[in-house]
Structure 1
Amino acid sequence: MSSRPAAGPDDHPSAHRRCVTGLLADTAREHPGRPAASFPEGQESYAELRSMTLLAARRLHAAGVSPGDRVGILLRRGSPAYLAHALGAMTLGAICVGVNARNKVRELGYVLRHSGMRLLLSDEEFAGLIAQTGLPDGCAAVSLGADAAFDAGAARVTEDDVLALEDRVTRGTHALLLYTSGTTADPKGCLHSHATLLAEGENCCERLAMTAADRFWTPLPLFHIGGWQVLMTTLSRGACFSHAGLFEPTAALDQLERERVTVAFPAFELIWNDVLSHPRFAEADLGALRAIMNVGAPARLEQMQAQVPHAAQISCFGSTESCGSICLGDPLRDSLHSRTHTSGRPMTGVEVRIVDPDSGAECGPGVPGEMWFRSPTRFVGYYGDPAATGAAVDAGGWFATGDLMAWQDDGTLTFMGRLKDMLKVGGENVSAADIEGYLITHPAIAVAAVVGVPDDRYGEVPAAFVQLAPGAELTEAELVAFCTGRIATYKIPRYLRVLEEFPVTPTQKIQKYVLRDRMRDELAELGITEAPRIAGA
């Protein structure tokens, strides 16, 4: 079974649009006072955001940024400055690299080198990390708001100069580079064009029945594809992008109420539950909300629906490679069961196949298989890694997701699990191989295997099984200390188990499912449902 044939790139409803910043320019010209972006500290109109974007573009061009260059942004909070400089880079035909603010020395160093970054925009919070990591040759760093020379550079570039570069941007121009963990030790850079971003925005508008009157809220950062999904949706209809800045439950609830948000994309149970369990939630007026997008266990989604009964709780499926959601529930037409038990139907132009991982045969309704898709929103490829792109995308343009899905009789899809050796920790994709590669640099560890185990707070956390070097000893506390500050906190194993030998297959591959089941059974027997906290996590 497969979904309807995909619309070609020239047939998609977004095909008439040329570039991302053109959406901003059109609304700024036609409706200059309309709200474009709001953050806890304030709101910018479309005219104001357009002006800020062009100013940022002038500063970036003066700093040496040209079409095709990579401009990294390492900021923890979503803000007008983040938005303006990301869009400013795209105005020039350059590529915005959203750098995960939870990165440490190892991850940041890899992204800087692999992307060939020309300029890294950050702030004082990350000065120490950048100094410790070191910048590769050809890359400069700017501390936004504290670099007078960068700010003054705008005087050397006119608005006409950057508008001339914007006129050269096409649908195929590369626009956004986001790094996501893969099954190898290093993250992969997912490259998107203006066309894929435009298609994602239009698809979400269609499924959510968006209008210019909507305010679409998310706490997802702009180094996460979900943040861009929301931004592109609002730009596509001249609506307002409402961003939490840096998620904090009280500020989020206040913003949702104050701004009369109509659509929310918390995405993860962990985030939305902090809003729903807030002491002031019962008295907050969220009457403007009409749809809330989350992923999670069906029983939990049903509970969430009951807590906000007037707004349709819908679920979705997507990835960085798909530019966000490619399946999404319909808040107006789908039943409660469908909205909470499935990921919805494929969106416009998205073609899906569910195939048997071994035989490649297509699976019928109710039969789990690997999800393959092709779509106008599918990424261009893994940046600088044609081998990885070729392994994931076949000659027909189908991307093998590594996710286990099943068709339902009504054409919706249900997420069943992951085929890849991946963890999902608090919404972050984590490669087990990435963690293992770091753990074995510890002198006491000879072999390491990392598996995901259930956790009430994060959904899943890493657990490390290790064989020690002869005569070596290692405690959980020592392992945590070894990881802290060197890898992102969500990657740090919360449990350590030392083995004399690993369970293996006849070909000597570690049987991770045995380790996973063993750890799961141990935690269940001990009544442990939440891992020990780590500072900064």
Structure 2
Amino acid sequence: MTTAVPAGAGDWAEVLPVGDVLARAAARWPDRVAVDLPEGRFTTAELQAAVLDTARSLLALGVRPGDRVGVLLPNGLDFLRTAFAISTVGAVAVLVNARFRGDELTHVLADADLTAVVTGARPGDEVDLAARLAGALPSPEQVPGLRSVVVLGGEHAALSGDARAVSDGDFRRAADTVAEQRVHLLRRGVAVRDVAMMMYTSGTTARPKGCLLSHELLVRAGAEVGLRLDVRHGDRVWDPLPMFHLSSILPLLGCLTVGATFVSTGHFDPGSALADLARVRPTHLYPAFPTVAQALAQHPDFATTDFSAVRVVNCVGPAASLRALQALWPHARLVSAYGCTEVGGVVAHGRPDDSLDHRVGTCGPPFRGIQVRVVDPETRTPVGPGVRGEICVRGWSLFAGYHGASHLTAERTDADGWFHTGDLGSLDAEGRISFHGRLKDMLKVGGENVAALEVEEVLQTHPAVSIAQVVGIPDPRLMEVPAAFVELRPGARLSPDELLTWLQCRLASFKLPRHLRIVDDWPMAATKIQKFRLRERLCHELGIPDGD
């Protein structure tokens, strides 16, 4: 089955490069608060001024259109002014996952072919990203094109001996050597199909790959997110996710498009977040992932926080979990979403005016101008409504390919331009998307198909269970068997044997986890749990080969 939502009302002729979106917002609403950040509140005019100054500094360092510049910074003004400045002058902002470390970070720094990288930290930040970068930075011989390592916030001992290091003061003073007019000339030369940003896949199943994202993709998707979620001029959208993630970039662009305020946190802490929410009184909550939403809901201050201004909440997850979250905000409309980095981050959002069953049971229909279809994974032929298969996407939201790996792009894009996501899903008769897990999460247990997501959904209906993740591990008799990792709700007590006994009357025997572990921490990549790390951990514990 294929579904496409035609372009309707709305002026797509106004799709602009990323830098122009901010410039237009600053011209239209100079005194409107654009962003509410850990450092303070900044108007569109103030944000634009900071971006222009940073762009001048980058040009003084020799950054040119088409160059790739790494951004390894915490959420805040430095991140935004750097990322926007890079894209404004026609270079490519490589947004580096701040959770990467060691070999993973070294791989990204070497693979991205960077001209410069910008890092730093605010006083009191939980993680010293500059030190992490210094420990993973490839040698000059490995990355001959990397000329500058900018350290915002002052000198940093870990990089003091590196000839490529540029201090905060030197970086800011360099702006004085470049006229602002030069920035505007370059901004006007940027085309919407040019690459604006590069983001590395989260690494939940394999070594991260750089995804090339155009200005058009980012700006259109941001506008569509805002339109679908009914974000209006003057609204306040709270988003606690890291800024290197599209679940921050797209809502931010949507806010700039209409003159709303984007509210971001630093390191997410549920208690601090609830205090911010009480202060801001947002109209929209964008936790996006159940780990964030459940942390809020389980905090003792949740019950006394005023959410009366909230109209829309966005979160993904199993239907039972979303239904429970909807009950926490009964006056608001909870919706879900579908997407991945390669298809533009988000290609579908639930409609706030849809029924509760549709809002918690599906991800909504695709955005205007995007086609989605579901195909049989083996034959690649379309399947009918309600039939599960691989989700494929075609349209303006597709990435421009994997950086330096055109063969991988070709492997996942067929001759008709459909990108094969590797996601298991279905479409209803009206074209709404339902996500059923990753195809690689479809376990083969003694010849029987077992969807990891199905087992996770059942586990999460237990009143003591907060989060559940299921992986397949090798088994000499059945090929592979399910293994479950479970985090309990605060104060809950439950043994693995008790949980397995509870499961036995709720799942077929071949779907039951053969191994179950209670955990209190997760291996994370951005906002996603790294299932391959869970599998590696258990295989090592059991003394069996990982088999993946």
Whether TM-score is above 0.5 comes out as: yes
| 2:460 pairs with 1:460 | no
- Note the 1:438-477 alignment, pairs <5 A: 456=465, 459-460=468-469
Conserved 8 A contact 2:470-2:484: no
| 2:256 pairs with 1:248 | no
Question: Which residue is equivalent to 2:476?
Answer: 503
Question: Which residue is equivalent to 2:308?
Answer: 287
Structure 2 length-normalised TM: 0.79
Query: Residue deviations 1:169-208, cap 9 Å, x none?
Result: 1101110100014697421111101010111012112212
Pair 1:31–1:5, CA change in 2 (3 A): closer
Question: Which residue is equivalent to 2:482?
Answer: 516
Which of residues 139, 152, 162 in structure 2 aligns to 1:144? 152
Query: Residue deviations 1:437-471, cap 9 Å, x none?
Result: xxxxxxxxxxxxxx999585554277876xxxxxx
Pair 1:519–1:25, CA change in 2 (3 A): closer
| Structure 2 spans left out of the alignment, 5+ residues | 122-127, 155-166, 444-451, 460-464, 487-494, 503-515, 526-548
Question: Which residue is equivalent to 2:280?
Answer: 259
Query: Residue deviations 1:349-384, cap 9 Å, x none?
Result: 111111111122211111101111112121111111
SS at match of 1:161: helix
| 1:519 to partner: Cα distance | 8.8
| 2:39 pairs with 1:46 | no
Pair 1:113–1:24, CA change in 2 (3 A): same
Greater displacement, 192-201 / 358-367: 358-367
Q: Following the alignment from structure 2 to structure 1, what is the Cα–Cα distance between the partners of residues 390 and 171?
A: 48
Pair 1:86–1:16, CA change in 2 (3 A): same
Q: Following the alignment from structure 2 to structure 1, what is the Cα–Cα distance between the partners of residues 144 and 289?
A: 38
| Structure 1 spans left out of the alignment, 5+ residues | 424-450, 466-501, 506-510
Pair 1:281–1:517, CA change in 2 (3 A): closer
Conserved 8 A contact 1:318-1:325: yes
- Residue type of the partner of 1:515? V
Size of the aligned set, in residue pairs, is: 463
Structure 1 length-normalised TM: 0.80
| 2:189 pairs with 1:189 | no
Q: Following the alignment from structure 1 to structure 2, what is the Cα–Cα distance between the partners of residues 382 and 458?
A: 32
Conserved 8 A contact 1:229-1:323: no
- Residue type of the partner of 1:62? A
Question: Which residue is equivalent to 1:132?
Answer: 135
| 2:91 pairs with 1:94 | yes
Which of residues 419, 433, 437 in structure 2 aligns to 1:413? 433
Conserved 8 A contact 1:183-1:422: no
SS at match of 2:219: helix
SS at match of 1:346: coil
Pair 1:122–1:376, CA change in 2 (3 A): same
- Residue type of the partner of 1:115? A
Question: Which residue is equivalent to 2:235?
Answer: 214
- Residue type of the partner of 1:198? V
Greater displacement, 337-346 / 520-529: 520-529
- Residue type of the partner of 1:516? P
Greater displacement, 400-409 / 517-526: 517-526
- Residue type of the partner of 1:320? T
Pair 1:138–1:334, CA change in 2 (3 A): same
- Residue type of the partner of 2:136? T
| 2:388 pairs with 1:368 | yes
Please provide the CA RMSD for this pair: 2.8
Q: Following the alignment from structure 2 to structure 1, what is the Cα–Cα distance between the partners of residues 484 and 313?
A: 36
SS at match of 1:29: helix
| 2:310 pairs with 1:301 | no
Among all aligned residue pairs of Structure 1 and Structure 2, give the percentage whose two residues are the same amino acid.
37
Which of residues 63, 66, 69 in structure 2 aligns to 1:65? 63
Question: Which residue is equivalent to 2:335?
Answer: 314
Q: Following the alignment from structure 1 to structure 2, what is the Cα–Cα distance between the partners of residues 5 and 281?
A: 38
Question: Which residue is equivalent to 2:111?
Answer: 114
- Note the 1:12-27 alignment, pairs <5 A: 13-27=11-25
Conserved 8 A contact 1:222-1:228: yes
Question: Which residue is equivalent to 1:202?
Answer: 223
Conserved 8 A contact 2:200-2:210: yes
Q: Following the alignment from structure 2 to structure 1, what is the Cα–Cα distance between the partners of residues 35 and 351?
A: 25
